[in-house]
Amino acid sequence: MNIYMETLGCLKNFNDSETAAGILEHAGHRIIRSPEEADVVIVNTCGFINDAKTESIERIFQMADCKKEGAVLAVTGCLSQRYADELYEEMPEVDLFLGVNDYERLPSILENFTKGIRKKYHSDYSRIYAESPFRKLADNPYTATLKIAEGCNNVCAYCVIPKIRGKYRSRTQEAILSEARMLAENGCRELILIAQDVTAYGMDLYGGYVLADLLRKLCRIEGIAWIRLMYCYEDRITDELVQVMKEEEKICPYIDIPLQHISDSVLKAMNRRSTSAGIRRTIEKLRREIPDIHIRTTFITGFPGETEDDFEELLSFAENTGFERLGVFTYSQEEGTPAAEMEDQVDEEVKAQRRDAIMRAQLEISLKSNQAKIGKTLTVLVEEKDEDGSYIGRTVWDAPEIDNAVLFTSDRNLTPGEFTDVEITDAFDYDLAGREVLK
C-alpha cells in the first residue's frame, strides 16, 4: 500500500513517525509524499494543550477532505491516545484510531482492516522501553533526533503527558549508541537528544542519573559533529553534566531548560521541584562554566493563582537574565490535571497580555544578542538553498525549526548538511545575515 504520514507536534512525535514509517516500509509498504495518492493516510497528532488539539483536529478534517475516495484515514499520536472514545464517536470520517503504543501493530492492523468497519486500538505502555529496529530517515539525514527515553515520572500540575505516555522508561545505553552509530553511518552530523525529561536518563535502569556518561560515549562516535540537549530539567543539571558539556567539543554550547516560571509560589502550585534560588544558581553556573552557552527556555503565563506580583517577578527575571532563546505559552486548562480544578483561574485576555509583554521584552533581548555577533565568523550548518540563490543555515546555538536562522550568500554550490564559515554582516530580531568566507 501507498501510505502518507502527516505529523504534528514536538520532535518526539516526529521521531515516532519515523519509527512508524520504518516499520511500515519493512512490512513492504511505501511511504509517499502526497495524501491525494495514498491508499492510507495517517495523522500523528499532538494533544498537549488546547491550541495543539485544535490544530490536530483541523488537520484530520483536511486530510479527510483531500484523500482519494476509498483511502483509509488513520489517526494516531497523543490526541488519539488521550481521547480515544470521544474521537471515535465524533469523527466518523476516521476509519482507525491508534494510540502511542501501537506503531509495531500498524502493518497487521492495516492489512486486516475491512473498509466500513471502524476500529480503535489503544495498547497500554510496556514497563520497559519498547525498542524498534526500524526507522525511516530523511533522504539526507544530516540532523536527526535520538530518543533516549519514553514517558515521564514528573507530576507537573498542568501536564497530561504522564497519562498519555506512561511512566519514564530509559533506553539502554547499548541501544542508544547502536542507533547513534547507524545515524552517523547514514550521514548524520547532528544528534538532538530528546525525551520528556532528558536529564532523568538512567535512574530507572542504572539507579542514578547517567546522562553525562552517555554523552561521553556519544562523543566518541566518528562522524557526529554536534550533540544538542533538549528538554532538560533544571534541578537535574548536575555539576558532572555541566563539566561534560564544558569539556566535550561535540556537545553544543546550548541547552533547552523549560523553566515555566520563577515565582516560588507559582512553581510550588505547578508542583515543580525547582525553586527561584535554584534556577538562578543553575543559570549562573552554566554561564560561568560555559561562557558562550545559549540557554533556551519556556514560560507559562496565567497559571491559576498567578498574581500581578508573580507576573512582574517573571517579567523582571526575563529582562534581567537575558535568555538567548525564549518562548512563552499561555496556561491551557487541561481536563484531568490538578491545575484544571484549581481556584483563581486567570482570564484568557490577561494570560495573553502577560505573554505578549514578555515576548516584547524578549524581542529586544534577542536583537541585542544577535547584534553582538555582527563582524564575527561563525560555523553554520547549511540547511537549504533559497529561491534567490542564497542559503539558509543554523549555528551551534540554534535547534531546527524553533530557533534562529542564518541567511547567507556563497559563490559555491553548497549542499544541505555541509558546515561552512559565515561572516555575520547584519542582525535582525530572530535571524542573522552574512556571507560565506573561505579560510
DSSP 19-80: HHHHHHHHTT-EE-S-GGG-SEEEEEE--SSHHHHHHHHHHHHHHHHHSPTT-EEEEEEHHH
The CATH classification number of 377-436 equals 2.40.50.140
Annotated binding-site members for [4Fe-4S] cluster: 10, 46, 78, 152, 156, 159
How far is residue 94's CA from residue 372's CA, in Å, rounded to a whole number? Answer: 51
- The secondary structure element, H or E, covering residue 247 is helix 239-247
What Å distances lie between residue 313 and 58, 320, 328, 358, CA to CA?
Answer: 37, 10, 15, 11
pLDDT score of 268 more than 90: yes
pLDDT score of 98 more than 80: yes
Identify the pLDDT of residue 128: 82
Annotated binding-site members: 10, 46, 78, 152, 156, 159
Identical fold for domains 2-121 and 377-436, yes or no, is no
Instruction: Name every residue whose Cβ is closer than 8 Å to that of residue 47 and which is 6 or more positions away in sequence.
Output: 53, 56, 77, 78, 79, 80, 81, 82, 83, 160, 164
Is residue 418 very low, low, confident or very high in pLDDT (cuts 50, 70, 90)?
very high
- The secondary structure element, H or E, covering residue 353 is helix 348-371
Identify the pLDDT of residue 18: 94
Fold adopted by 2-121: Rossmann fold (3.40.50)
Written out in words, the top-level CATH class of the domain with range 137-256 is alpha beta
CA torsion sign for 382, 386, 391, 392 is negative
Contact between 274 and 235 (Cβ < 8 Å): yes
CATH 3.30.750.200 fits 261-372, yes or no: yes
Domain locations along the chain: 2-121, 137-256, 261-372, 377-436
Contact between 230 and 11 (Cβ < 8 Å): yes
Q: Which tens digits make up the pLDDT trace of 7-53?
A: 998 899 999 999 999 999 999 999 999 999 999 999 999 987 788 88
- Name the residue with cell 579560510: 439
Is residue 125 very low, low, confident or very high in pLDDT (cuts 50, 70, 90)?
confident
Where would I find the H helices in 272-347? 276-289, 308-321
CA torsion sign for 268, 270, 274, 278 is negative
